[in-house]
Amino acid sequence: MVKMQLLSFRYGKKEVLNDISMRLEPGKIYGLLGENGVGKTTLLKVIAGLQKPWNGSCSVFGEDPFNRAPSFLSRVYYLPEELEYIQNDYSIRFFAKVNGPFYPNFDNEKFEAILKEFAVEGDKKLTSLSHGQAKKGAIAFALATNADLLLMDEPSNGLDIPSKTLFRRIIVEYVSDNTCTLISTHQVRDLENLIDPIIILDNKAVLMNASLEEISEKLYFGLHASIPANAFYSEPVPGGYLCVMENDDLGESKVNLEALFNATMQHKKRMQELFAPNAAEVSTPSLRPE
């Protein structure tokens, strides 16, 4: 569905993405993780056709996104972090009435059902809603488009804790089985138990593009009384230390996304070596010294 080959992007002389190669498949909810400033938003904009690669290629449904052909635009929905594009003096319901027809599979019943679950008053002017309520209205519209490719940039920002829990459930319940969903975040706990596969983006490089099953096969997440010498990462928790290490016949374990991210940031080169063979065309540019 989405194929990037040696994709690079820069703002002026500042290089943001460098030789990124990756495939995204339908029916999966990808989590795009990374620290602020590593290019997550830029990558989403390239896929959505809002930015043109400086070098390399990005293909979506076999088309060049930057051409922004109607056949492409009707199948893709990009939900940015900020909502200026809909923060006008009208309601989210009016926004849906005007913009829904651009998406052939837009489902107004789904839209209304999600608004109800989020407890968003659809006829209230967006300017009169809190940021969190406006964000939930925008999420409802995004899911109701039933787009084949759904791109969401930091969708949980601005949501309170109960709403974040509800957001995860709504994504699972309402995203189409055939939709490829890519959710960008730097708050990994917000998307726990939702995203799979996991993509970790560093400055200009893909460090990991792997399913939770692949991660569990190669890494072990366990509680230890003391920190093993071969631990990639450890943090104190009640009862000892949560440790991440290579899975040398240690068995299965539940992946902790925050610990995974921290371990990857501390051992970038080794993690890329571990997961590059199983990741679809993961790029292997030189990394900064650890």
For residue 196, name the pLDDT band (cuts at 50, 70, 90).
very high
Q: How many helices and strands in the chain, by DSSP H and E?
A: 9, 12
Q: Is there a contact between 168 and 18 (Cβ–Cβ < 8 Å)?
A: no
Q: Is 126 a residue whose pLDDT tops 90?
A: no
pTM above 0.85, yes or no: yes
Amino acid identity of residue 217, one-letter, is E
Per-residue confidence (pLDDT) for residue 276, from 0 to 100: 76
Domain ranges for the chain, please list them: 2-195, 209-290
Q: Is 9 a residue whose pLDDT tops 50?
A: yes
Q: Is there a contact between 183 and 195 (Cβ–Cβ < 8 Å)?
A: yes
Q: Starting at the edge strand that comes first in sequence, how are the strands of the sheet with 55-60 ordered?
A: 14-24, 2-11, 55-60
For residue 100, name the pLDDT band (cuts at 50, 70, 90).
very high
The encoded tokens of residue 248 equal 């040398």
Per-residue confidence (pLDDT) for residue 87, from 0 to 100: 66
Q: Is 285 a residue whose pLDDT tops 50?
A: no
Amino acid identity of residue 262, one-letter, is N
Question: Considering the domain 2-195 in this protein, what is its CATH number?
Answer: 3.40.50.300
SS3 15: strand
The encoded tokens of residue 71 equal 């056949």
For residue 8, name the pLDDT band (cuts at 50, 70, 90).
very high
pLDDT tens column, 174-187? 998 999 999 999 88
CA 76 to CA 60: how far, in whole Å?
Answer: 9
For residue 204, name the pLDDT band (cuts at 50, 70, 90).
confident
